[in-house]
Amino acid sequence: MEKLSPLQIERLKYQPKLPSSLAEGINGLEMVEGSATQSVRDQEQIQELFKNTYGKPVVTFKHSTMSKEAGVRNVGVILSGGQAPGGHNVIAGLYDALKQANSANKLYGFLGGPSGIIDGKYVEFDDKFIDAYRNTGGFDIIGSGRTKLETEEQFEKSLAVCKKLNISAVVIIGGDDSNTNAALLAEWFVKHNAGIQVIGCPKTIDGDLKNDQIEISFGFDTATKTYAELIGNIERDANSAKKYWHFVKIMGRSASHVALEAALQTQPNITLISEEVEEKKMSLESIINYMCDIIVKRADMGKNFGIAVIPEGLIEFIPEMKSMIANLNDIMASLENDSAFVNATTIRDKFDIVENRLEDNNAKVYASLPVLIKGQLLADRDPHGNVQVSKIETEKLLIEMISTRLEELKSQGEFIGKFNAQSHFFGYEGRCAFPSNFDADYCYSLGFNAFALISFGLTGYLSSVRNLTAPASEWVAGGIPLTMMMNMEKRHGEMKPVIQKALVKLDGPVFKQLEDNREDWAMNDRYLFPGAIQYFGPSCVCDVTTCTLQLERAKQLVNA
């Protein structure tokens, strides 16, 4: 038998909490419909592209005294995109609801992400299978992938696989791009009278799949707590040795929610927020000057150490970089089959080809970067056409540029200290942690609720569980039409319908919290040490949600 750690054994026994409407039983639900909805932008284009699924109402569930007979259904589930703690519990919740509705129901898991449904690679779940994964981190139950579901051929193959397995509903657990796939698939199935529903679940550690209806994506809670633990440990180390500046880049792709949350939990000396950099049109030089100013002032106080938190997507928000990367993305799409580029013998030859094609101002910016970063910017785009920011070592770029600037200041007698830097990148460390109690409950509820949406015949909906700062019994379960969150954006050089990403709002309460405190945190060491996620013990330690969720919900409640 497989050996399990003591925590694994104990977590397998944890019974996640459900909203009371769902806890009363899957066959005793009533659906309440709101009014018709619109997409967040580009309404005409989105309506044209989603003729069959556009404009549906937001729905919520409440307990009904009338219990209904449930027919037999087979459902397929896909884990899509990057790992996020709690994915296994979404599947467990879906499985439990499906079996509770009718024990003859079957749940199939498609292997390796969306490609599983196209290639017909799947497993059928049973109790033993599911029980081994309850409340565990990771997506290893069926694996994940980033295949973009968008072509007629992929849709036709998916339909054939579903027909073969008699599947009448598919649940896609993913982020904004994966749920865009879900919306496209839902529309295609309706258009072709396939009789297959598609339901999405809001997953991503990045926390950027949220809006007025979705309070937070799952995984954000656990991942940010994991990074905060690590940053807190580094703060203590820095404060003990007093000899290093630690530059910590934190995952989160474009949005800075993860870096911002980790900063509120740990109070480091410097926190960069990409959205602010863009809004204030801060050049790379001005960012370096801002950081050097703090380093120099701390050195004047005899503090040659500190912690700087850097969001993963920073580079894309620095205006001159953003323009260059957008230009570069289009060029990279056109160079995919260019034999001179593909067969270039040295990386420098590739740099030359790219520089010759970039517009003049962008070519200058590209040419000014260190070789390491130039090469990383040429790495393959992800299947959605995005630069893979996790592969660009912005933290090292900043260290290099800051060192150079401090040398200059030293030679002018304006820097009297020492600068020894350590770089870190926290990302993968947090994506497969055991889900916190919050994520364990939230994910289980999202999965259970996904089956409720299926049982009411809905398609093109995102599973939604709201009122998340209240006890789980008071959470509100329901569904949001995926088209409601969509707009048109440029991908791979073409305008495409996509779910709008939520970036950090600079006028929001979360950023404000940082803004109000960062000068103090820069000079006076107000480090906080959150420690490891606790699963057992006092509720004030085990069940607290993130600062982000608490601050945003408090504001929503005041405005309600």
As annotated, the active-site residues are 206
Residue 483: phi and psi, rounded to 5, are -65, -25
491 binds ligand FBP (CB under 6 A): no
Query: Which of 39, 181, 390, 459 touches ligand FBP by CB under 6 A?
Result: 390
- Report if residue 248 touches ligand FBP, rule: CB under 6 A: no
Is 82 a binding residue for ligand FBP by CB under 6 A? The answer is yes
The region of 58-66, 249-257, 434-442, 484-492 touching ligand FBP under the rule CB under 6 A is 249-257
- Least Å distance between CB 379 and ligand FBP? 11
User: Considering the rule CB under 6 A, would residue 171 count as an interface residue with ligand FBP?
Assistant: no
Applying CB under 6 A, which part among 250-258, 348-356, 412-420, 446-454 lies near ligand FBP? Answer: 250-258
Decide if residue 389 touches ligand FBP (CB under 6 A). Answer: yes
Does 478 bind ligand FBP (CB under 6 A)? Our answer is no
Which tokens go with 77? Answer: 């589930």
Which residue, 171 or 409, is less far from ligand FBP as judged by CB?
A: 171
| Cβ density class 364-393: b for 16+ within 10 Å, e for less | ebbeebeeebbbbbbeebbbbbbbebbebb
Site string for ligand FBP, 331-370 (x = CB under 6 A): ----------------------------------------
Strands, E assignment, 42-105:
59-63, 74-79
Smallest distance, Å, CB 80 to ligand FBP?
Answer: 7
Where does residue 312 rank: exposed (0-12), middle (13-18), buried (19+ CB within 10 A)?
A: buried
- Residue 30 Cβ vs ligand FBP, minimum distance, rounded to whole Å: 33
**Alpha-carbon 352 to chain mean position:** 35
Residue 303 lies near ligand FBP (rule: CB under 6 A): no
Nearer CB in complex with ligand FBP: 78/251: 251
Complex with ligand FBP: residue 223 or 318, whichever CB lies closer: 223
Nearer to ligand FBP, 114 or 268 (CB): 114
State the minimum distance, in angstroms, from the CB of residue 441 to ligand FBP: 20
Cα end-to-end distance, the chain, whole Å: 53
Closest by CA to 378, choosing from 417, 422, 347, 411, is 347
Beta bridge partners of 59: 33, 479
Instruction: Report the alpha-carbon distance of residue 542 to residue 460 in Å, rounded.
Output: 35
Residues 41-70 that bind ligand FBP (CB under 6 A): none
Question: Minimum distance between the CB of residue 48 and ligand FBP, rounded to whole angstroms?
Answer: 27
Across-strand partners of 246? 307, 422
Among 93, 116, 175, 481, binds ligand FBP (CB under 6 A): 175
Instruction: Name the segment binding ligand FBP (CB under 6 A); options: 56-64, 199-207, 368-376, 434-442.
Output: 199-207
Q: How, if at all, do strands 197-202 and 59-63 pair?
A: unpaired
Residue that is written with structure tokens 């740990």 in the block: 266
**Tokens in use for 6?**
């003591």
One DSSP character per residue, 106-166 reads: EEEEETTTTHHHHHT-EEE--HHHHHTTTT--SSTTT--B-----SHHHHHHHHHHHHHTT
| Closer of 19 and 202 to ligand FBP (Cβ) | 202
Spatial neighbors of 244 by CB under 8 A, at least 6 apart, are 237, 238, 305, 420, 421, 422
Among 29, 59, 92, 205, the residue binding ligand FBP under the rule CB under 6 A is 205
Residue 222 CB, nearest approach to ligand FBP (Å) = 13
Listed ranges 76-84, 520-528, 532-540, 552-560: which one lies at the site for ligand FBP (CB under 6 A): 76-84
CA 367 to chain centre: 32
Per CB under 6 A, 206 contacts ligand FBP: yes
Query: Which of residues 251 and 369 has its CB atom nearest to ligand FBP in the complex?
Result: 251
Interface stretch with ligand FBP, choices 198-206, 319-327, 507-515, 522-530 (CB under 6 A)? 198-206
Does 316 participate in binding ligand FBP (rule CB under 6 A)? no
Rule CB under 6 A: say whether 200 interacts with ligand FBP: no
Is 204 among the residues that bind ligand FBP (CB under 6 A)? yes
CB of 53 to ligand FBP, least distance (A): 23
Using CB under 6 A, which residues numbered 398 to 457 contact ligand FBP? Answer: 427, 431
For ligand FBP, give the closer residue by CB, 206 or 439: 206
* 130 to 169: interface string for ligand FBP, x by CB under 6 A: ----------------------------------------
- Could you give the CA distance from residue 97 to residue 95 in angstroms, rounded to a whole number? 6
For residue 454, give the H/E element and its range: helix 437-455
Position 85 contacts ligand FBP (CB under 6 A): no
In sign, the C-alpha dihedral spanning 548, 318, 485, 441 is: negative
DSSP secondary structure code for residue 390 in this structure = G
Q: Which of 81, 145, 207, 530 binds ligand FBP (CB under 6 A)?
A: 81
Residues 6+ apart with CB under 8 A from 539: none
The alpha-carbon radius of gyration of the chain (Å, integer) is: 24
Total Cβ atoms within 10 A of residue 401: 18
**Residue 381 DSSP code:** P
Q: Judged by CB, which is closer to ligand FBP: 17, or 424?
A: 424
Q: Does 275 bind ligand FBP (CB under 6 A)?
A: no
Q: Is 251 in the site for ligand FBP (CB under 6 A)?
A: yes
CB-hemisphere CA count at 13 Å for 7?
Answer: 11
In the chain, the amino acid numbered 387 is V
Binding residue for ligand FBP, selected from 215, 312, 439, 552, defined by CB under 6 A: 312
Q: List CB contacts of 560: < 8 A, sequence separation 6 or more.
A: none
Q: How many residues bind ligand FBP (CB under 6 A)?
A: 15
Query: Could you list the residues that contact ligand FBP (CB under 6 A)?
Result: 81-82, 84, 175, 204-206, 251-253, 312, 389-390, 427, 431
